[in-house]
């Protein structure tokens, strides 16, 4: 009987099956020996094996990169608000096990688009919930800060409850470090921080000054003030300063000579601007004063390009002023040396609001969010920041602060430099302050979020 030397199709398939079976046996034997000790590199070694089909000499490969491109593990993210996020979450570590697949996206994480247009996964530290934490909060006690103003010293002014001091902010999907004053002072060694804006930014300055003051020797701290327009905290052992500049519009407001009228020069920056230069950290805000009407309105005329205008669309005036500030930042700030923040609007809980601040001792617990501040102004701020060439970190505290109707100064405050009398306190509908915040209190969390943006989410910290 003669046998042909040509392999027939049946023999070829039989040989291929035998070869494939032997290879599979080797692989499973390897897995048995390795058991649970397989690492990411081992996975890559196995997953990169190629199967050669001799019948058509085509090459098909399986690799982690091809897995990542499949729809189930796609890294493409949805677009969020196009502003620069403060922090990015650390990538999930590869867990040990037989086969380490790329981690699936957590529903607790979202995506934002950075100013350069790149998408990145991050933990949105401004989305979360308030947790009562009497053990670790407040971060300091009011009696430790002798320079706190009467406007924010609620306990000293007779507020009987203190629960508003003990709430901790917990973002969804990540853990943030508790503010560490000693660490912050070291990071600010030889540096200069400026906080520019209205009285809510002065509220924030008092908070940050207290946080740092209680973390160093009081005898080595200088706190000075020039009225309500300029305040400075100086930590002598660290050579650092924290300064507040009163500038509720960021642009110039001045009185017309020879009259009792005021003009808001929407295309000229505040005169303090020359003193803002060179700071290592800048925190700006504006908003509330633009919404005042009637007798509370600070200006009588607008001025643009040297011409007085009695009436102008509010959004147009606000947008013009923001662009002037943005151009100044782009021209003056060296982003390799200076970090710029813009704080979003601080919410109010006035009488006409569904959540009046008077006689409240707990935060709003449901997540129904009603933003009373004009949305168009919020959009103007966000759009202005997006168009800037200098990276600006948006301290988006509006929503998390909206829950804190309990944290306002209410009737335990001062007006025009005088603490409210008992008679005034009996008329909260007229005198309750539902704009400013008690200290210790909510502004401490704003500064804690600035701290997070500096140290990141991966730093070890004392909890």
Residues that are catalytic = 199, 433, 436
Write the CB contacts of 84 (distance below 8 Å, at least 6 apart in sequence): 112, 114, 115, 385, 391, 392, 393, 394
């Amino acid at each position: 009987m003669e046998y042909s030397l040509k392999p027939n199709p049946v023999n070829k398939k039989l040989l291929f099956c035998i070869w494939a079976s032997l290879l599979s046996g080797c692989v499973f034997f390897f897995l048995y020996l390795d058991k649970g000790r397989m690492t990411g590199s081992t996975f890559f070694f196995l997953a990169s094996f190629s199967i050669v089909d001799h019948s058509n000499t085509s090459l098909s490969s399986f690799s982690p990169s091809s897995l990542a491109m499949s729809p189930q593990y796609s890294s493409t993210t949805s677009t969020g608000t196009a502003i620069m996020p403060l922090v990015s979450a650390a990538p999930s570590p590869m867990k040990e096990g037989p086969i380490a697949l790329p981690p699936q996206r957590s529903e607790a994480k979202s995506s934002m688009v950075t100013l350069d247009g790149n998408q990145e996964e991050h933990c949105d530290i401004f989305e979360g919930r308030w947790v009562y934490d009497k053990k670790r909060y407040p971060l300091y006690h009011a009696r430790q800060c002798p320079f706190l103003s009467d406007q924010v010293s609620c306990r000293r002014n007779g507020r009987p409850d203190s629960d508003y001091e003990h709430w901790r902010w917990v973002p969804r999907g990540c853990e943030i470090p508790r503010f560490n004053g000693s660490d912050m002072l070291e990071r600010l060694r030889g540096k200069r921080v400026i906080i520019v804006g209205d009285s809510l930014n002065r509220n924030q300055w008092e908070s940050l000054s207290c946080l740092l003051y209680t973390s160093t020797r009081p005898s080595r701290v200088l706190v000075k003030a020039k009225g309500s327009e300029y305040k400075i905290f100086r930590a002598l052992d660290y050579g650092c300063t924290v300064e507040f500049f009163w500038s509720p519009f960021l642009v110039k407001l001045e009185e017309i000579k020879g009259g009792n009228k005021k003009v808001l020069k929407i295309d000229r920056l505040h005169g303090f601007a020359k003193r803002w230069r060179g700071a290592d950290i800048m925190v700006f805000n504006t908003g509330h004063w633009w919404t005042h009407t009637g007798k509370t309105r600070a200006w009588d005329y607008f001025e643009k390009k040297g011409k007085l205008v009695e009436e102008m669309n509010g959004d147009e005036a606000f947008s013009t002023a923001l662009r002037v500030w943005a151009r100044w930042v782009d021209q003056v700030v060296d982003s390799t040396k200076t970090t710029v923040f813009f704080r979003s609007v601080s919410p109010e809980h006035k009488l006409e609001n569904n959540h009046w601040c008077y006689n409240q001792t707990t935060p709003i617990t449901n997540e129904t969010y009603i933003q009373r501040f004009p949305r168009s102004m919020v959009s103007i701020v966000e759009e202005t920041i997006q168009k800037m060439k200098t990276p600006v970190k948006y301290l988006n505290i509006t929503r998390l602060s909206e829950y804190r109707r309990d944290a306002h100064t209410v009737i335990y405050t001062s007006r025009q430099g005088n603490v409210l009398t008992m008679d005034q306190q009996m008329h909260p509908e007229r005198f309750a302050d539902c704009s400013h915040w008690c200290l210790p209190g909510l502004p401490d969390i704003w500064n804690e979020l600035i701290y997070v943006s500096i140290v990141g989410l991966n730093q070890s910290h004392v909890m």
